[in-house]
Structure 1
């Protein structure tokens, strides 16, 4: 296995874990927290669902913890880090960042503790987590006059509101309302994911393939954002046909953008094609969601709500996430932008987990086996990431170590 050792690290030696460094940027603690929870929550859901207590219940807990407990957490870790680069101001660090992480942890524990009191504590803690994160982002984008990012804090706040509505429906056992609020949260997260990915995919691609020239597609991005937000609004007012149309257009714009980013030019770069694949799956998933809303293919597995949820959630968000977890962590940690064997294996394991889970949507005698195999691939994927990256995420960058030594 290739070792990703920076030349400066050879000179400086391996630094000790450092709490100040660990809490210096949002991606360090939140990437670890999100990935640990991704591993633990799937293990509980597939292999020990009896541990999920009331007032939460099986699928309600699973859907919540995957979307808000894992996917949104990783997205916030990225935004709290990237916004420091975009604006020149760090939105959260030190004790405030530590507090946000503790609030997140309290919510995870509370929902597994059971009982109305613990549930209420979880809702309050998680709501505070979203509110503080949104306000911190708002503060730096205004301070840094980063006008194109003014909408991001509102989207984060929207995810927090959808979370409260979802949890209320879960506590009341209202499955219809639960699915409605989950879809609102899913679409809001899709808008955030597409917004982020549309910026980073061409940028990362042109950095890694110097001769490659790609358009940023700002114009189509505005339409994509507009129709995505419109889908959320139409969901809130109960216009399902308009919501379906908006979702279909958003998905088609995403696939059109992808075609203009010359996907065949990055097939030799796994760190890039993994992002292209995740972006494509979100686009396809949004089109499938539109078909579901319009009642197309209702009698087939493609017409089930679980189909578009897993295409978007696993095929889109999670494939994007495993690519972003490696690329952005290596970049912000001052490491070479290269994959070792364990990182590449984590990509293939994630893709396998998605393929197996989608295959399990077709009822058969091997459905349970497929679910178990998907969970096993997922757990090993997340475990590999933690094994490889936690030692780097809790330590200073190699160049920072050298500067500290030189200053003595």
Structure 2
């Protein structure tokens, strides 16, 4: 029914899927414009003053067809394995929104409810749809990462209510605009959003280049022979995983990752390299000198002062450190100690040693978070080998 309307929304979903963008800190690209268009179709009650007659099955079919068409350019470019989790979640969310909204809208029309009732229905359906999407996302990530469901659900809810209001609001505006002005309202509302997404994509590209610059600077210690190959990258990855376990915010994760990449930059001041690049066995005064020199170098690079603070506080007592510095210190100690251990039993011995140093050298809460991350990753995935 109403094929021109179905085709118009399918085109919007396909276009939104074709111009996906990777969110800050995200693992995979997403299509926010495709999701907004799909929600707009699910919440469509009128078209230029005439009732919309599509049902839930047609809504799901149109969104699925648009999504598949939008995935074709990515498959043709061979951009790697396509993960369909976001698209499957989108279909489930749209189906849930349509199941909730369309009968309520029909009831409001049949009982001649005034316009504000439609806004109230949207305010009820959209948060419920967001919660449903968060439940599905948490279940998928919990199974994939072998992590408890509750922390994943907390992360998913926090992420959902960061971006969902914008997506839901856009979808609602599309539906209301088409209801009042017909299909000509779609390009009027959608094209500015597309331009905004291109701007976000450029910003993400600048951030990626910035991170690559920092990673290249961090490799100076490896090239000079002061630290083992891949040490900074392993510490950064492990620090980020532990920080997620501790539920740090995205800005904190960014600061922590940059600091972890450059935490050993102060070793370039040493006359002779430390054996294995491991600073944990050094005297406290020597570790503090390296940390302060590293912080001074970081400040000269123009990186955020917060990053320099984390680097220069590495040798301080952990109770005086910011949480990000505690995380980097524990991750660094784990990688330093695990380098000399075998891949099977080494992680357990290293964790036991860190636990013995907890409350004196390391924050016990961070050590336990590290233990959960290592258990989830499996033996030999962190700190084992130079890769």
Shorter-chain TM-score above 0.5: no
* TM-score, structure 1 as length reference: 0.23
Structure with greater helix share of residues: 1
Who wins on radius of gyration, i.e. which is larger?
2
Higher relative contact order (CA closer than 8 Å, sequence separation 6+): 1
TM-score with structure 2 length normalisation? 0.24
